[in-house]
Amino acid sequence: MSFCRTFAPRRPWQLEQRGIGTTLLKRLLQGAGAAGIREIKGRGMQDAIDTQPWLLSWYKKHGFAVTEPDAGSLRGTKQMVVWRR
């Protein structure tokens, strides 16, 4: 079954709590580890954290540290998420 046929007819909220993001993140981290990547950084933007209050704890659950934004962060960055091998 194709990705488009599986997900296209659904609304975004119908895809929540199905493990899709977790599966994608785990595969990303596995691939990063296999490729020798030692660090991945991401930005938790204010609007994303406000609309998805569980987001930072989800990243923590998957081995990311949550830190304060650094001086070079984009405007609107509320928190940084960092994964280190």
User: CATH code at 28?
Assistant: 3.40.630
Residue-level pLDDT at 59: 94
Q: Compute the chain's Rg from CA coordinates.
A: 15
Domain with 46, as residue range(s), is: 3-84
Q: How many domains does the chain have?
A: 1
Please give the mean pLDDT across all residues of the chain: 83
Q: How confident is the model at residue 36 (pLDDT cuts 50, 70, 90)?
A: very high
Whole-prediction pTM value? Answer: 0.73
What single-letter DSSP state applies at residue 32? Answer: H
Taking alpha carbons only, the member of 15, 22, 76, 19 closest to residue 49 is 76
